[in-house]
Amino acid sequence: MAGNFFRVQCGDCENEQVVFGKAASTVTCAVCGSTLATPTGGEADILGEVVETVEAR
Ligand SMILES: [Zn+2]
């Protein structure tokens, strides 16, 4: 499996952005800079609210 993308809503400003499920580096909100996901070596730890799972095709 190539890995999924998640549409994550920032808990601070409600911005939504797409985060790779296996992000290798910390993902921050493009609007307010809040951390949305942190790498764990496998699946990223998503800190925001996952609105939608987008499966890779
Ligand atoms: Zn934000």
pLDDT, tens digit, for every residue of 2-56? Answer: 679 999 999 999 999 999 999 999 999 999 999 999 999 999 999 999 999 998 6
* Domain coverage including residue 21: 5-54
- Ligand 1 center to 37 CA (angstroms): 12
User: What is the number of domains present in the chain?
Assistant: 1
Q: Please give the distance, rounded to the nearest whole angstrom, from the Cα atom of residue 30 to the centre of ligand 1.
A: 7
Please report, as a single letter, which amino acid is at residue 56: A
Residues whose Cβ atom is located within 5 A of ion ligand 1 = 10, 12-13, 15, 29, 31-32, 34
4-41 per-residue burial string, b: 16 or more CB within 10 A, e: under 16: ebbebbbeeeeeebebbbbbeeebebeeeeeebbeeee
What is the 1 CA–ligand 1 centroid distance (Å)? 29
The CATH number given to whatever domain includes residue 20 is 2.20.25.100
Q: Which of 4, 15, 6 is nearest to 51 (CA)?
A: 6
Rounded-to-integer distance, Cα 21 and Cα 4, Å:
5
